[in-house]
Amino acid sequence: MNVWEVNPAGKSDEQIAREGLSCMEGWMKELGLAMNLHELGVTEEMLDGITNGTIIMEGGYKVLNHDEVLNILKNSL
């Protein structure tokens, strides 16, 4: 609400959050940032190579495995 000046009147927490995320997405597009892997020229055929080149870090909230990284990349196309 404070950053994107979302008016919370009559909105659920989820609606407020979605509106804030929509504002952030608009700002990111305005800056010309890539919003998905496709905009960077990545194709589905490249995902295995990208996944194999991904360094899996220990620590954090969850340690991802190869299949989880691949799934995230697929969803990022």
* Same domain, yes or no: 45 and 57: yes
- As for how many domains the chain has, the answer is 2
What are the C-alpha distances in Å from 74 to residues 21, 37, 48?
21, 9, 10
What's the pLDDT tens digit per position in 1-53? 889 999 999 999 999 999 999 999 999 999 999 999 999 999 999 999 999 99
Domain that residue 20 falls in = 1-33
* Same domain, yes or no: 19 and 51: no
Supply the pTM of this predicted model. 0.71
What's the pLDDT tens digit per position in 47-75? 999 999 999 989 889 999 999 999 999 99
* Same domain, yes or no: 57 and 72: yes
* Same domain, yes or no: 52 and 72: yes
* Same domain, yes or no: 14 and 43: no
* Same domain, yes or no: 14 and 41: no
* Same domain, yes or no: 75 and 53: yes
CB 73 within 8 A of CB 51: yes
